[in-house]
């Protein structure tokens, strides 16, 4: 009689436990609105610490199954994320506040400046902090991975080579697909390779039809608006920015060593019957190989030419800047030295830049200013590509300085003299003056 009684008590206990467990989860509902009472369509409502969540419908309403100790995390673009403890409530209404700091951020557009909260076009903005986070050579590299809808592809690994920028893809088969670059309000006919990335204050990318409406057909491929650093009223500020890094080749292409190449050459002759079958003999080798190859076989030589053209590269930048002014006159001066030493001998890029931005308020209605940029750059080995030659050379031969003329061009660095036949020197000066009434 005791066993049935114990069994009934056990079943009853399990049923009460299940009922208690199920009572911990319940349904709540509510609305997500802003400070003006407008519904925030698509607002995200999630239970903190779990994967449970939902989104607000067209009326801002939502329903969600939660426990008594749950905390809701409500987020919406342009608004401050809020956490709300559910407690014993069944109706939880949420009011989100605007993220004033984000919406008030100023963005440069083609016809002036606007706040982010007033933007209606497709514009991507990149700040100076994002630009200076990486040791980039070219200002166009700052767009890589930073702006949606902008494709930035590095054309090569040579020092000083700039990437290709495409906004909304290719739009023409024969014409140029490069975007229009506007620096401090002045459209540039070429690229922005001469601009020091450290001097850039912000970059805005116009990607929609507004670019064409403002700049005409020149903006058909998109527009990149660049604002450089300018002085501010107050105490003069002296800044110094520097960095240094090294670079190395990730690996080398696997090629034959001396004995492997010799056997490969023997087998090629066996296939046509000009080398006897079986093990190699000194008599047969003497008829097949050149004297320098026989010397390499005797000495066990294996020359890997990749070891002679590769080296440890380095990249460095040093910039000194001074900015300041008073209520009427502001100035910003900067000087920069940049050097990129490539991982291949005789490939390097050096750039010297000097920039002066000067603004003066003549009266309450008239303001004038000037922007001056001086650039000197030197790029060695722009058309210098010895990798193909190193892969074709005979590993049995010894590396020599007096080779045939075409190879001397590639290995002329052994004389410790720069190969000036592959140098590109540029000396540019840019100046623009503006009146503002």
Three-state SS at 199: helix
Whether residue 296 sits in one domain with residue 377: no
At 255, list the tokens: 């090629």
Whether residue 218 sits in one domain with residue 130: yes
Whether residue 333 sits in one domain with residue 374: yes
Asked if the structure places residue 16 within a domain, the reply is no
Give pLDDT, residue 94: 93
**For the segment 187-200, what is each residue's pLDDT rounded down to a tens digit?**
876 668 888 888 98
Q: Give 10-residue mean pLDDT values along the chain (437 residues).
A: 49 47 73 88 89 88 89 87 90 86 51 45 75 82 81 81 82 81 80 84 80 76 87 91 91 91 93 90 91 90 88 93 92 94 89 93 87 89 79 82 41 42 67 69
User: Could you give the CA distance from residue 266 to residue 284 in angstroms, rounded to a whole number?
Assistant: 9
Collect all residues with Cβ–Cβ distance below 8 Å to 185 and sequence separation of at least 6. Answer: 434
**For the segment 23-37, what is each residue's pLDDT rounded down to a tens digit?**
467 899 999 998 888
User: Could you give the CA distance from residue 332 to residue 232 in angstroms, rounded to a whole number?
Assistant: 8
For residue 281, the enclosing domain spans: 258-301
CATH number for position 118: 2.170.130.10
User: Could you give the CA distance from residue 126 to residue 147 in angstroms, rounded to a whole number?
Assistant: 8
Three-state SS at 231: coil
Q: Can you give the pTM of this predicted structure? A: 0.64
Whether residue 217 sits in one domain with residue 96: no
Give pLDDT, residue 214: 74
Whether residue 139 sits in one domain with residue 96: no
At 211, list the tokens: 């670019």
User: Could you give the CA distance from residue 32 to residue 252 in angstroms, rounded to a whole number?
Assistant: 59
Three-state SS at 20: helix
Roughly what angle, to the nearest 10 degrees, separates helices 291-299 and 258-270?
130
Give pLDDT, residue 190: 61
Asked if the structure places residue 10 within a domain, the reply is no
Asked if the structure places residue 15 within a domain, the reply is no
């Amino acid at each position: 009689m005791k066993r049935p009684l114990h069994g009934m008590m056990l079943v009853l206990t399990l049923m009460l436990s299940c009922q208690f467990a199920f009572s911990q989860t319940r349904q709540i509902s509510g609305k997500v609105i802003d400070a003006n009472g407008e519904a925030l369509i698509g607002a995200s409502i999630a239970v903190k610490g779990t994967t449970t969540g939902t989104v607000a419908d067209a009326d801002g309403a939502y329903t969600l199954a939660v426990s008594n100790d749950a905390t809701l995390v409500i987020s919406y673009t342009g608004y401050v994320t809020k956490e709300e403890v559910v407690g014993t409530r069944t109706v939880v209404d949420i009011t989100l506040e605007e993220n004033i700091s984000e919406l008030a951020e100023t963005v440069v557009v083609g016809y002036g400046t606007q706040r982010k909260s007033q933007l209606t076009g497709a514009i991507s903005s990149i700040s100076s902090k994002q630009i200076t986070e990486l040791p980039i050579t070219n200002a166009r590299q700052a767009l890589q991975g930073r702006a949606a809808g902008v494709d930035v592809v590095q054309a090569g690994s040579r020092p000083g080579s700039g990437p290709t920028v495409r906004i909304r893809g290719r739009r023409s088969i024969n014409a140029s697909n490069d975007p229009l670059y506007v620096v401090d309000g002045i459209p540039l006919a070429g690229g922005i390779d001469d601009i020091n990335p450290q001097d850039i204050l912000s970059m805005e990318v116009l990607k929609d039809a507004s670019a064409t409406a403002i700049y005409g057909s020149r903006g058909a491929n998109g527009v990149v608006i660049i604002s450089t650093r300018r002085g501010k009223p107050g105490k003069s500020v002296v800044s110094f920015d520097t960095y240094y890094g090294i670079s190395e080749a990730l690996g080398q292409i696997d090629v034959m060593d001396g004995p492997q190449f010799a056997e490969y050459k023997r087998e090629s002759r066996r296939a046509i019957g000009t080398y006897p079958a079986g093990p190699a003999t000194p008599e047969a080798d003497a008829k097949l190989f050149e004297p320098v190859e026989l010397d390499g076989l005797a000495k066990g030589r294996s020359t890997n030419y990749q070891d002679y053209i590769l080296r440890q590269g380095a990249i460095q930048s040093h910039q000194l800047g001074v900015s300041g002014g008073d209520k009427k006159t502001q100035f910003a001066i900067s000087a920069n030295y940049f050097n990129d030493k490539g991982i291949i001998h005789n490939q390097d890029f050096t750039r010297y830049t000097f920039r002066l931005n000067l603004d003066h308020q003549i009266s309450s209605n008239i303001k004038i200013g000037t922007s001056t940029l001086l650039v000197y750059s030197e790029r060695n080995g722009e058309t210098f590509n010895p990798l193909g030659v190193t892969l074709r050379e005979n590993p049995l031969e010894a590396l020599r300085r007096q080779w045939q003329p075409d190879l001397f061009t590639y290995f002329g660095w052994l004389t410790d003299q720069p190969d000036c036949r592959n140098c590109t020197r540029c000396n540019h000066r840019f100046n623009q003056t503006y009146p503002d009434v």
